Chain A
C-alpha cells in the first residue's frame, strides 16, 4: 500500500455509480476470487490462535482456574483485564454506528458496518471471561442470571457485578439487533445479485423478504434512528457499569470517582485504534480506498487524539487523588506503581497512551499510513497495560501488609488471551468473506446526496456530506 496518501475532502471518491458501489462491496461476498492469499494467510493465523484458545479452555475446564496465575489477594487478573479490554474495543463500534448517526455525521456510513461487526466479536471475546472465570461455565447460569433455581436463592442486586451481567447482556443483544437491522436491505441486494443458488437461498432467507418498499423504509428509518438513540446511552452505561465493578469497592487505586468517564473515553480510544488496525489493511487489500478515504482516517486519528487526552487526564487525576487523599494505602499504591517491580508496566502505559499518540497532532503523521497503523497498535497495547496497572497491580498492594503478594501470570493466561485475539480475527475474516463490509444502501444514499440531489443542487445537503 502507498505509505502516504493525499487528504481529500470527499467522503466518496472515484467516478462512482450505484452499480459500481454494489459491485465493489457485493462482489467481496459473491465472488470468492476477490479474496487473495492475504485472506487465507490471515484466516490461517487466526485459526491457529483460535485452536490455542480452545486448548487452553479445555485445560482450564479439566484442571480448574488454578491453571491461571490468579490467587488471593490478586483474585482478578487476566480474566478481568481481558474482559474490560475487549468490551472497551467493542464500544467504538457502537459509538460510530449510533452516536455519529444521531449527530448526522455522514462519514460514518462507510465504516459503521465494519465497526459494528467488530463490536459483536469483541463482546463475544469479552463474554468468554466472565463465563470461564467461574471455572464451571455450565453452572454459571445461576451465578449470573436471575432464574428460579432449586436452592431458592437470587443474585444480589445491590452489587455492581450483577449490574454488569445485565449491562453486557443487553449490550450484546442490542448490538446484534442494530447490526442485523442495518444488514437487512443489503442482504436483499445480495439476494438479488447472487447467481449461485445456495447464496440466493441463504440471502433470501436472511433478508426476510425485504423489497425496498417505501412504506417499509419509512418505518425502517424510524426504527433505525430509535435504535441508535437508545444505543447511545447504552454504550455509555455499559462501560460506566464496568468501571463501577472497581470504583464501588474500597480497594486502593479502584475507589476513584473519575473512573466512569475515564473508562468510557478509554474504551472509545481503544476501539478506534482497533477499527484502524482492521480498516487499514482491508481497504488496501480490497480496493476500498474510494469508500474509506483519507478523510475518514484523518477523523478517526483526531478522535483517538481527543479521547487519548481524556485518558491521560484520568492518569494524572489518579495520581493527584492518591496524594490528595493522604491515605497511607493510596500513597503506598502510587509508590508501588512508580517504583515497584511492575513499574515498567506503568511507565510503558504512560508512553503508549500518553506520549506516543501525540504524534497524531501532525498532519504528516496522520497521512502516513504505517505511522497510523503503528500508533493504533501501540494504543491497543497501552490500553491493555492500563487494565493491568489498574486491576492486578492494585490488588497486590492492599490495606494489610499481610496481603502484599506478587502476582505472576502463567502460560495459560497468555495462550487464552492470544486465543481470544484469534477468535476475534477468525470471526472478522469470516465476516469479510460472507457479509458486506460496507453498508451498501447507505453508500448509495451518500452518492445520491453527493450528486447534489439531481438538478436542484442543495448547498446544505452538500455541506452535510463533505
Chain B
C-alpha cells in the first residue's frame, strides 16, 4: 500500500503572484476542459468557486438540523424532568409550563447549531488531515502567506503529466511543478 502511494501523482500545481492571476488561470483551465481543479490561497478569493464550478451548500443544512435537534432535546429534557421524573407544583403553574421552558430550548438550539457549523465544516472538509499531497508542492508554505496556487488534480480525465504542465505554463504561472502524493517519489 505504502509503496504504491509513493508512485501516485497528486497533480500539477502552479504558483501565482496575485489573486487576479489565479482567477484568470482558473478560467483558462476551465475553458481548456479541466474539471478537477483546486486552488490554495492565503485568504478566501470570492468568485473562485464560481469560476471553477464548485458548489457545496451542505453546511447550512447541518446547522439547521443541529438547531432542530437542540430545540427538541432541550424541550424533551425539561418535559421529562419536570413532568415525568420529578413533578413539582410551583405556585400552581402547570407541570408542562412551555413558556418557561423556552429560554433553555433557545440556548440548546444555538448550542447544537453552533456545533453543527463547526463539526459539519470540519467533516465536509475532511479536517483534521495532517498530511495531504498538496503539501509536497515546492514553496507551498507560502500558500498560507502571500502566494496563490492552482492545481489540476491527477484524476482529471484530461490529465497528462507532460501536457498539463505545458498547459499550465501558458497561463502565466511563476512556477509549475508535478506534485507526487508522497515526498520520496522523485521518479
Residue ranges of A at the interface with B (Cβ–Cβ < 8 Å): 17-19, 22, 146, 152-158, 160, 162-163, 166-167, 169-170, 173-174, 177-178, 180-181, 185, 188-189, 191-193, 204-205, 208-223, 226-227, 230-231, 233-234, 237, 241, 244, 441-442, 444-445, 448, 453-455
Listed by A's residue number, 6 A-B pairs whose Cβ atoms lie within 8 Å are: A173-B114, A188-B144, A214-B39, A215-B125, A230-B63, A454-B18
In the complex, the number of residue pairs spanning A and B with C-beta atoms less than 8 Å apart equals 198
Contact B81 A154 (CB under 8 A): yes
Which one, B40, B63, B77, B113, contacts A212 given CB within 8 A? Answer: B40
Residue ranges of B at the interface with A (Cβ–Cβ < 8 Å): 18-20, 38-45, 48-49, 52, 54-60, 63, 67, 77-78, 81-82, 85-86, 88, 90, 93, 97, 100-101, 103-104, 106-108, 110-111, 113-115, 117-118, 120-122, 124-125, 127-132, 134-135, 140-146
Contact A214 B118 (CB under 8 A): no
Contact A209 B20 (CB under 8 A): no
**Docked pose: A162 CA to B100 CA in angstroms:** 11
The list of the 7 closest CB pairs from A to B, nearest first, reads A18-B146, A208-B128, A223-B121, A192-B141, A454-B20, A154-B81, A214-B39
**Docked pose: A214 CA to B56 CA in angstroms:** 12
Which one, A19, A158, A221, contacts B145 given CB within 8 A? Answer: A19
Contact B59 A237 (CB under 8 A): no
Q: Give the residues in chain A near B42, CB-CB below 8 Å.
A: 18, 185, 189, 212, 441, 444
Q: Give the residues in chain B near A205, CB-CB below 8 Å.
A: 130
**Docked pose: A277 CA to B19 CA in angstroms:** 37
Q: Give the residues in chain A near B100, CB-CB below 8 Å.
A: 157-158
Given A214-B48, A223-B117, A454-B18, answer yes or no on A152-B86 (Cβ-Cβ < 8 Å): yes
Q: A146-B81, A158-B93, A163-B107 are in contact. List 17 more A-B contacts (CB 8 A).
A: A156-B90, A166-B107, A173-B111, A189-B144, A193-B145, A209-B127, A209-B128, A209-B131, A210-B127, A211-B40, A214-B39, A214-B40, A219-B124, A230-B63, A237-B107, A241-B103, A442-B43
**Docked pose: A221 CA to B48 CA in angstroms:** 13
Contact B59 A223 (CB under 8 A): yes
Which one, B56, B59, B113, contacts A230 given CB within 8 A? Answer: B113
Given A18-B145, A222-B57, A226-B59, answer yes or no on A214-B114 (Cβ-Cβ < 8 Å): no
Q: What secondary structure prevails in chain A residues at the interface with B?
A: helix
CB distance from A316 to the nearest CB of B (A): 28
Which one, A22, A170, A208, A211, contacts B122 given CB within 8 A? Answer: A208
**Docked pose: A153 CA to B81 CA in angstroms:** 8
Which one, B85, B90, B135, contacts A158 given CB within 8 A? Answer: B90
CB distance from B183 to the nearest CB of A (A): 15
Given A219-B56, A219-B124, answer yes or no on A163-B103 (Cβ-Cβ < 8 Å): yes
Closest residue of chain A to B133, judged by CB? A211
Contact B130 A220 (CB under 8 A): no
Q: Give the residues in chain A near B107, CB-CB below 8 Å.
A: 163, 166-167, 169-170, 234, 237
Q: Give the residues in chain B near A227, CB-CB below 8 Å.
A: 114, 117-118
**Docked pose: A152 CA to B84 CA in angstroms:** 12
Contact B45 A214 (CB under 8 A): yes
Closest residue of chain A to B78, judged by CB? A157
**Docked pose: A223 CA to B106 CA in angstroms:** 20
Q: Give the residues in chain B near A445, CB-CB below 8 Å.
A: 43-44
Tell which of B41, B63, B114 has the most Cβ of chain A within 10 Å: B114
Contact B114 A222 (CB under 8 A): no
Given A208-B122, A223-B117, A454-B18, answer yes or no on A167-B97 (Cβ-Cβ < 8 Å): no
Which one, A152, A163, A192, contacts B104 given CB within 8 A? Answer: A163
Which one, A17, A22, A156, A170, contacts B88 given CB within 8 A? Answer: A156
Q: Give the residues in chain A near B114, CB-CB below 8 Å.
A: 170, 173-174, 177-178, 227, 230-231
Contact A209 B43 (CB under 8 A): no
Contact B59 A166 (CB under 8 A): no
Given A166-B103, A189-B145, A214-B48, answer yes or no on A209-B57 (Cβ-Cβ < 8 Å): no
Given A18-B146, A167-B107, A454-B19, answer yes or no on A209-B117 (Cβ-Cβ < 8 Å): no
Q: Give the residues in chain B near A219, CB-CB below 8 Å.
A: 56, 58-59, 121, 124-125
Tell which of A162, A185, A218, A441 has the most Cβ of chain B within 10 Å: A218
Closest residue of chain A to B64, judged by CB? A226
**Docked pose: A364 CA to B35 CA in angstroms:** 58
**Docked pose: A222 CA to B43 CA in angstroms:** 14
Contact B86 A154 (CB under 8 A): yes
Contact B86 A222 (CB under 8 A): no
CB distance from A203 to the nearest CB of B (A): 10
Tell which of B20, B103, B122, B134 has the most Cβ of chain A within 10 Å: B103
CB distance from B86 to the nearest CB of A (A): 5
Contact B129 A208 (CB under 8 A): yes
**Docked pose: A174 CA to B63 CA in angstroms:** 13
Contact A218 B117 (CB under 8 A): no
Closest residue of chain A to B118, judged by CB? A177
Which one, B41, B104, B141, contacts A166 given CB within 8 A? Answer: B104
Contact B145 A167 (CB under 8 A): no
Closest residue of chain B to A227, judged by CB? B117
**Docked pose: A441 CA to B146 CA in angstroms:** 10
Which one, B82, B104, B128, B132, contacts A154 given CB within 8 A? Answer: B82
